[in-house]
Amino acid sequence: MTLAHDTVDLSCTIAGVRFPLCLMNASGALCVTREELEALGRSRTGAIVTKSMTLEARTGNPEPRYYPFAGGSINSMGLPNLGYRAYAELIPALKTFRKPVIASVAGLCEDDFPEIARTIARAGPDLVEVNLSCPNIAGKPQIGYDFEASERLIRRVRAVVDCPLGVKLPPYFDPAHHAAMAEVLKRAPVDFLSLINSVGNALVIDPDRESVVIKPKGGFGGLGGPGIKPVALANVRAFWKAFDGRIPIIGVGGVVSGTDAFEHLLAGASAVQIGTALVEEGLKVFDRIAGELQAVLKKKGYPSATAVVGRLKEL
Ligand code: DHB
């Protein structure tokens, strides 16, 4: 017989929304089509996160545009997605899976964001995640690296979205930039943060072929997977501290095992998203990592994932 106290509670609450499991897909990973989103719904994932949506449907960049390698993955997908109207129609069906639906909103220019956000919010997602950090559209810099543009955009989206609103930020590599973005987010508040997007404009080379490995942008693309975990943890920790632990954070970057998820929780994440490992392993990754996280927390005597959040020790 399994007694309640034998199991660790892996649920979490973010901006008042309860997640049955603190693990979910990262936007972009297996979440473009209706079939993919419904398969997520049937899986163990704690939430269904959509692909970042644009005004019009897009086929994305030319292939090859995703390449897994030993250290992780590089991608330059170019925002292939069904267009926001299709996702607005899909959301009611996705909500029947009884787990939160997170709509990821992108755009090719600033005006796109509030237009998409207004319509998608009316379709009833549980949360909206505004993507300020797509690195893969040639000629379109990541908005999150422009603090003034980010503030303007967050204000405009906030004005048209009633449900909890978060931002997906690019990685920052200097405390001055963490501080500057934290100040933006104190002036233009959001309800949660998703940290981090892929490490943009990296270059992976195949020495045998003496070639780049993806076609768009001369081989430059967003880096994901194990190699970016320390960068992700640093960003989770920096924003956790900047807000004195008073903003929910979804950690993203390099989660392949239950221990990786545990490290994100220690740094200050309330939940974690899984990208490269989901693409490489498929939907069973949620069962595996949930089992591993359960075992780690049980061994360490934690009653719940929530009890770990932010408890990283400093020396
Ligand atoms: C894409 C990649 C991203 O990292 C992102 O945030 C949005 C879109 C893409 O190439 O499709």
19 pLDDT band (50/70/90 cuts)? very high
Is 134 marked active-site?
Answer: yes
Is it the case that residue 210 has pLDDT exceeding 80? yes
> Residue 114: what pLDDT?
98
- Mean local confidence (pLDDT), 191-215: 98
pLDDT tens sequence across 93-131: 999 999 999 999 999 999 999 999 999 999 999 999 999
- Ligand 1 centroid – CA 162 distance (Å): 25
Topology given in CATH for the domain delimited by 4-61+82-201+228-300: TIM Barrel (3.20.20)
Out of 12, 22, 31, 134, which one is annotated catalytic? 134
The pLDDT of residue 37 = 99
What are the boundaries of each domain within the chain? Answer: 4-61+82-201+228-300
Mean pLDDT of 12-28: 98
Q: Ligand 1, atom 7: nearest CA belongs to which residue?
A: 134
Q: Whose CA is nearest to atom 11 of ligand 1?
A: 79
H/E stretch holding 221 = strand 220-224
The whole-number pLDDT of residue 216 equals 98
Q: What is the pLDDT of residue 43?
A: 98
Whose CA is closest to 272, among 296, 301, 299? 296
Biggest CA-to-CA distance, the chain: 59
pLDDT surpassing 90 at residue 5: no
What does the pLDDT read at residue 6? Answer: 74
Instruction: Give residues (CB < 6 A) around ligand 1.
Output: 28, 52, 75-79, 106, 131, 133-136, 197-198, 222
Q: How confident is the model at residue 3 (pLDDT cuts 50, 70, 90)?
A: low
Q: Give, in degrees to the nearest 5, the angle at Cα 256 between 8 and 194.
A: 80
pLDDT tier at 191 (50, 70, 90 boundaries)? very high
Q: How many whole angstroms from its chain centre is CA 264?
A: 13
Residue 157 carries which DSSP code?
Answer: H
What mean pLDDT is predicted for residues 234-259? Answer: 98
Place of tokens 């990685």: 171
- What is the rounded CA–CA span in Å between residue 80 and residue 214? 16
What pLDDT score was predicted for residue 4? 52
- For 242, list phi and psi in degrees, rounded to 5: -60, -30
Q: Which atom of ligand 1 is nearest to the CA of 198?
A: 4
Euclidean distance between CA atoms 202 and 113, whole angstroms: 26
The pLDDT value given to residue 201: 98
Measured N-to-C along each axis, helices 175-187 and 147-158 cross at an angle, to the nearest 10 degrees, of 30
Q: 134, 168, 195, 199: which to mutate for ligand 1, most atoms within 8 A of CB? A: 134
Q: For residue 222, is pLDDT > 90? A: yes
The model's pLDDT over 255-268, given as tens digits with 9 standing for 90+, comes to: 999 999 999 999 99
Average pLDDT over residues 244-260: 98
